[in-house]
Structure 1
Amino acid sequence: MFAESEAGQRIAACLTHRVNGSEEVSEVAEAIVSMFEEIETSLTPIIGPKGVAALHRRSLHLYLSKHPLRGDNYGMLVVGMDIQALKALLAEESIPDALLFGQEVLNTYYALLATLIGSSLAARLLLDVWEHSFSGPPAQDTSQ
């Protein structure tokens, strides 16, 4: 499907589309959390809830290792996958910080998944998440 750099671009585009220029950090938090929820829905039947949670925890851990000052806020999320707690924490951030968190953790999550099952399969499994962000009326066939 697409390589990791393309996946990163797709995640960024998906997040940007979902945020849609909002200047409300609560809407940015909702966009990020909704992506995690859709990833959980897509992957749970394949890798199970424990696998989804393990990837989430590892992604957070790797984010915190790059941004140790964030550990005070996000450290508790490494213990359990509490999406609502994540949403509340993101809502207290600035928009750029929330977006940085979302982009880095989502990219890390994808990279970890791709390491386990391959980038092509990871991309296919998460296609619904990306497509949901850009869903709209279907394209018209103009070839006739």
Structure 2
Amino acid sequence: MEMLEQRQFEAALMRRGGIDGDSAQIASAVVSIWQEIATCLSPIIGKGGVDALYQRSLYLAGRTHPWLMTVHDRTHLAAMGLEALKSKLAEQSSANAAAGGAALLHAFYALLSSLIGASLTERVLYPIRINFLSESPERNTLP
């Protein structure tokens, strides 16, 4: 995912926060995306593979958003720990939640691309990315 796409994800997450900047809605959207990713990739790389990529993505995104490191530290290495992510995102301002969520997704995309190639990553994740970016701001989850 290029930087422009990372900004698009961040903007889409901010829209989910609404006018009042609700970080809980942003947190729900990020968790929903991760659930879709797990559903999509688990048959291909297994639950353990998805969990490992999630943990590594948390670590990488935590370098620019240190508050994400606490999620990484609190979750078991063999599990995604989406509830811990959701609560940590909800504690942030809407701007920080959107930036951290977008950074986490960007780190995941870059990591998966380095493992299976950009073209295959794009094909596997295309429906998730398109649904999320084209989704109306009033919805909190992916279809």
Q: Please indicate the TM-score interval, normalised by the length of the shorter structure.
A: 0.7 to 0.9
TM-score, normalisation: structure 1? 0.78
Larger Rg over CA atoms = 1
AA paired with 1:125? V
Counterpart for residue 7 of structure 2 = 12
Higher alpha-carbon deviation: 75-84 or 39-48? 75-84
**Residues 108 and 44 of structure 1, relative CA distance in 2, 3 Å threshold:** same
> How many residues end up aligned between the 2 structures?
131
AA paired with 1:85? A
Identity of aligned residues (%): 34
After the TM superposition, which residues 14-93 of structure 1 pair with which residues of structure 2 at under 5 Å, given as runs?
14-20=9-15, 22=18, 23-68=21-66, 70-72=68-70, 74-77=72-75, 79=77, 80-93=79-92
**Residues 118 and 73 of structure 1, relative CA distance in 2, 3 Å threshold:** closer
Note the alpha carbon deviations across 1:99-127, whole angstroms, 9 max, x for none.
Answer: 12111111010001000000000011001
Counterpart for residue 104 of structure 2 = 105
| Secondary structure in structure 2 of the residue aligned to 1:126 | helix
Rounded Cα–Cα distance in structure 1 between residues aligned with 2:127 and 2:64: 29
Contact kept in structure 1, 2:112 and 2:121, CA below 8 Å: yes
TM-score, normalisation: structure 2? 0.79
Q: Which runs of 5+ in 2 are unaligned?
A: 137-143
| Secondary structure in structure 2 of the residue aligned to 1:58 | helix
Rounded Cα–Cα distance in structure 1 between residues aligned with 2:14 and 2:81: 21
Counterpart for residue 124 of structure 2 = 125
For residue 130 of structure 1, report the CA deviation from its aligned partner. 1.1
RMSD, aligned CA: 2.2
Contact kept in structure 2, 1:58 and 1:78, CA below 8 Å: no
Contact kept in structure 2, 1:25 and 1:92, CA below 8 Å: yes
